[in-house]
Amino acid sequence: MLKVSGVHTFYGAIEALKGVDIEIASGEIVSLIGANGAGKSTLLMTICGNPRARMGRVLFEGEDITGLPTYEIVRRGIAQSPEGRRIFPRMSVLENLQMGSITAKPGSFANELERVLTLFPRLKERIGQRAGTMSGGEQQMLAIGRALMSQPRLLLLDEPSLGLAPLVVKQIFQAVKDINREQKMTVFMVEQNAFHALKLAHRGYVMVNGKVTMSGTGAELLANEEVRTAYLEGGH
Amino acid sequence: MTALSVSSPRSIAWPAILKEAAITAFVALLLTVPLVGLRTVDRPTGLGLETRWAEVAAAVGLVFLGRLGLCLIRDGQPTVVLVLAAAATAAGFLIQMPTEALRVILIAGGAIIAIRAAIAIRTGRSKLSQAERDQRMDRIAAKVQHASRWLGPIAVVVALAFPMTPLADRQLLDIGILLLTYIMLGWGLNIVVGLAGLLDLGYVAFYAVGAYSYALLAHYFGLSFWVCLPLAGLLAAGSGVLLGFPVLRLRGDYFAIVTLGFGEIIRIILVNWYQFTGGPNGISGIPRPSFFGVADFVRSPPEGTLAFHEMFGLEFSPLHRIVFLYYLILVLALVVNVFTLRIRKLPLGRAWEALREDDIACASLGINRTNMKLAAFAIAAMFGGFAGSFFATRQGFISPESFTFIESAIILAIVVLGGMGSQIGVVVATLLVIGLPEAFRELADYRMLAFGMGMVLIMLWRPRGLLAHRDPTILLYGRNGKGAGGAAAGTAAAGGQGIAGGRAK
Ligand SMILES: Nc1ncnc2c1ncn2[C@@H]1O[C@H](COP(=O)(O)OP(=O)(O)O)[C@@H](O)[C@H]1O
Ligand SMILES: [Mg+2]
């Protein structure tokens, strides 16, 4: 479904991605783990065309989307819940969700809303509340819900567990699992919380310093000695 | 920060209070000696100095007493202070002060201290913390915002009825027109600044384009106001797009600086393109608007045409044209207002607000940011153009001097002080920023000083603007905040239909 091949991305003279290859098949959950500053967010942003890859190609459903502007890429069916959630704080929950559906097919709003509110009943309770006044977990649910509102075929999640309490993290990951199972949604997730991310994922990649150094099924990576020492025992 | 002293009786520390008041008075003395005490005057022999010690003494005395009052409130004597401050305010109306300005200071100061004392009596506290004050003001802002649902129509009816009341003399009508012009400009700029969150420091450029479009089209082609009005709007919108293309890639401060530059470029072109625009001399003899092209506002119309008063069988009065202009700008302003209120509920307006909140999130939602910003820019420019051609036809004369940076600054101040994005805030801020200086014309020199002080006070007390409060555009639970979840989903779906229907743009 998504094929990233040999992508190099630069911030000015800084090379943040140094030739990244990643492949995601339809219906999969794929996790990308790596330390702070490895380039995970940059990869997600590059897939969305902002910043653009200087070398290499990004194919989505066989089509080259490397040079397209972001709004064109999103319209083709990729939605991202960006790092730090980036909900619209002064807008209500409902308005946030409406913003998500701005590129969706007309008339789909009511159905999608129903689906998102069933997935996150918490949002239903808070539907009229200002998004900025919600808890971190609720905001994360909103960010994912908003991304889902555009009826994507590929969902990109950037550190959905960032700064959340363990119990909430569990809820969020459960929701990701549900989305994948019930809606057949393909999910590409970036995480520092390696244990949960790999347990949930069908496959995983490890990124170090702008390069993918390892890949395998979630279970394989979890069992891997290097992964364990680098990402599981120290911090998490 | 919060002085938690209660109004329970406690001994008053007179020495400390007197010392504090004396220090404040000393600071006042330092400030007033150069600002008030010394004045340069033109003498035949050259520049001379005039001293005004009486005024300095009065000012310092007032500051001393005022501080004393505030200290006493803090030390648990609000009732006494309330009486004395009220008395001082009343005295301000009666006794003779050295200058008019001092009288205003006495009255205003007395009133403010009295209000403080009254608050202290009610809450048992001398001072509210910043957070509490914010909360209170937010509640007031929310109330005003809610009240605007019925206050708005009432204000419109009052504005409509005003010219028919006996109050409406030439001077008041002129002030009304001036206020409405700025309200319209404020609402126009609000689209860019308040909704889309783009800090435009050169809005006056579009005002100028509109004004000159009409003036030049009338001058060179003899076109009438009613033909030129839409043309001026189009030309202004066009210049908005022209400016927007290169500029909208910039962010934040850089964007603001470039718009500032654009405003100046337009003005400098107008000054220097002498053959075409008349340069600094401007354009005079701009035709007045007719009554929708059917009748003119003149005493004796040319042969074969009808004058307005003849058409309606009225006595000729020069006021007719003023009243007509008043209604014209009222309608134009309301068009902007209604447009903004509607667009906020449609995807375009929603996307503007989202852009203001978070640019990057917008991109990730598939919003074409450049187009959205361009649309905001062009539409606001168009309204600025309308206002400009109205200005030209009202004045009958325009010159580049009317379109300096200070105009942009004033319009921006109206939007920012009113609370970004708040429609009613623009009205309130216009009354303050334009109305007050008009009302206090007698204060002459102190007018701008008071204006500056007002700005500083608002920035201190309400950093986010007077009425900064945003209600969701769709209310789910009615007004009382209760409601069942099922009903919520139903209304939400209806809101979705609205947004889907609105997409056919
Ligand atoms: N906007 C930016 N400008 C310049 N450098 C950036 C920018 N964003 C990220 N970087 C750099 O790119 C590298 C990768 O960052 P990022 O993708 O955010 O890492 P991660 O998401 O894995 O923590 C880091 O060295 C970071 O400093
Ligand atoms: Mg990151």
B478 sits in the region (left: phi over 0; alpha: psi -120 to 50; else beta) called left
Tokens of B73: 């409130």
The predicted-structure confidence for B288-339, as pLDDT tens digits, reads as follows: 887 887 777 877 777 777 778 777 777 777 888 888 999 999 999 999 999 9
- Å from CA of A35 to ligand 2 middle: 9
Range of the structural domain that residue B278 is part of: 168-460
Do A106 and B500 count as a contact with CB atoms less than 8 A apart? yes
Which of B364, B420, B479, B482 to probe by mutation at the A interface, max A CB count within 10 Å? B364
Please give the Cα distance from A156 to A31 (Å, whole number). Answer: 10
Q: Based on the domain organization, do B365 and B444 belong to the same domain?
A: yes
Whether the CB of B475 is below 8 Å from some CB of chain A: the reply is yes
DSSP element (H, E) containing A216: strand A211-217
Give a yes or no: residue B140 inside a domain.
no
Q: From the list A74, A91, A117, which residue is nearest B489 (CB)?
A: A117
CA distance B382 to chain A (A): 26
Q: Based on the domain organization, do B205 and B350 belong to the same domain?
A: yes
Q: Closest residue of A to B481, CA-based?
A: A128
A38 lines ligand 1 (CB under 6 A): yes
DSSP element (H, E) containing B364: helix B359-364
Q: Based on the domain organization, do B213 and B298 belong to the same domain?
A: yes
Peptide bond into B463 cis (omega under 30): no
> What pLDDT is attached to residue B85?
86
Give chain B's domain count: 2
Whether the CB of A121 is below 8 Å from some CB of chain B: the reply is no
A45 lines ligand 1 (CB under 6 A): no
Q: Based on the domain organization, do B57 and B172 belong to the same domain?
A: no
Please give the Cα distance from A33 to A230 (Å, whole number). Answer: 11
The β-bridge relationship of strands A211-217 and A203-208 is: antiparallel
> What pLDDT is attached to residue B468?
65
Nearest C-alpha to atom 25 of ligand 1 is from which residue? A37
- The closest alpha carbon to B155, from B183, B136, B175, belongs to B183
Distances (CA, A) of B172 to B140, B176, B326: 29, 6, 11
> What pLDDT is attached to residue A201?
95
Interface of A with B in 188-207 (CB under 8 A): none
* Neighbouring residues of A208: CB distance < 8 A, sequence distance ≥ 6: A34, A35, A38
Q: Based on the domain organization, do B179 and B99 belong to the same domain?
A: no
> Position A234: which residue type?
G
For B158-195, the three-class secondary structure string (H helix, E strand, C coil) is HHHHHHHCCCCCHHHHHHHHHHHHHHHHHHHHHHHHHH
> What pLDDT is attached to residue B493?
39
Most confident of the following: A220-229, B208-217, B252-261, B412-421: B208-217
pLDDT at A234 exceeding the cut of 70: no
Under the banding of pLDDT at 50, 70 and 90, the label for residue B107 is: confident
Residue where a domain stops, chosen among B127, B154, B184: B127
Q: Based on the domain organization, do B220 and B342 belong to the same domain?
A: yes
Nearest C-alpha to atom 6 of ligand 1 is from which residue? A11
Q: Based on the domain organization, do B240 and B372 belong to the same domain?
A: yes
Q: What CATH number does residue B201 fall under?
A: 1.10.3470
Under the banding of pLDDT at 50, 70 and 90, the label for residue B465 is: low
A209 lines ligand 1 (CB under 6 A): no
Give a yes or no: residue B485 inside a domain.
no
pLDDT at A114 exceeding the cut of 60: yes
Give a yes or no: residue B24 inside a domain.
yes
| DSSP-assigned beta bridge partners for residue A190 | A32, A158
Mutate to test the pocket of ligand 1, among A7, A10, A18, A41 (most ligand atoms within 8 A of CB): A41
Q: Based on the domain organization, do B337 and B282 belong to the same domain?
A: yes
Beta-carbon count within 10 A of B262 CB: 23
Give a yes or no: residue B378 inside a domain.
yes
Helix (H, G, I), strand (E, B) or coil at B310: helix
pLDDT at B4 exceeding the cut of 90: no
The stretch A93-105 carries a mean pLDDT of 90
> What pLDDT is attached to residue B472?
58
Under the banding of pLDDT at 50, 70 and 90, the label for residue B116 is: confident
The predicted-structure confidence for B34-67, as pLDDT tens digits, reads as follows: 887 888 888 888 888 888 888 888 889 989 998 8
Which of A76, A83, A97, A98 to probe by mutation at the B interface, max B CB count within 10 Å? A98
pLDDT at B432 exceeding the cut of 50: yes
Please give the Cα distance from B191 to B306 (Å, whole number). Answer: 41
Give a yes or no: residue B481 inside a domain.
no
Do A146 and B473 count as a contact with CB atoms less than 8 A apart? no
pLDDT at B505 exceeding the cut of 70: no
∠ CA B196-B201-B204, nearest 5°, is 105
Give a yes or no: residue B500 inside a domain.
no
| DSSP-assigned beta bridge partners for residue A214 | A206
Percent of chain B with pLDDT over 90: 30
Whether the CB of A86 is below 8 Å from some CB of chain B: the reply is yes
Give a yes or no: residue B96 inside a domain.
yes
A34 lines ligand 1 (CB under 6 A): yes
The stretch A36-52 carries a mean pLDDT of 93
- Å from CA of A193 to ligand 2 middle: 12
Residue where a domain stops, chosen among B445, B460, B475: B460
- Å from CA of A210 to ligand 1 middle: 10
CA distance A115 to chain B (A): 11
Q: Based on the domain organization, do B238 and B334 belong to the same domain?
A: yes
pTM for the model: 0.78
For B240-266, the three-class secondary structure string (H helix, E strand, C coil) is HHHHHHHHCCCCHHHHHHHHHHHHHHH
Q: Based on the domain organization, do B75 and B204 belong to the same domain?
A: no
Q: Based on the domain organization, do B359 and B235 belong to the same domain?
A: yes
Tell me phi and psi for residue B25, to 5 degrees: -65, -35
Mutate to test the pocket of ligand 1, among A14, A33, A162 (most ligand atoms within 8 A of CB): A14
> What pLDDT is attached to residue B469?
63
Residue where a domain stops, chosen among B421, B437, B460: B460
Report which ligand 1 atom has the smallest distance to the Cα of A210: 14
Q: Based on the domain organization, do B115 and B254 belong to the same domain?
A: no
The stretch A160-184 carries a mean pLDDT of 93
Give a yes or no: residue B160 inside a domain.
no
Please give the Cα distance from A221 to B44 (Å, whole number). Answer: 94
Percent of chain A with pLDDT over 90: 83
Average pLDDT, chain B: 81
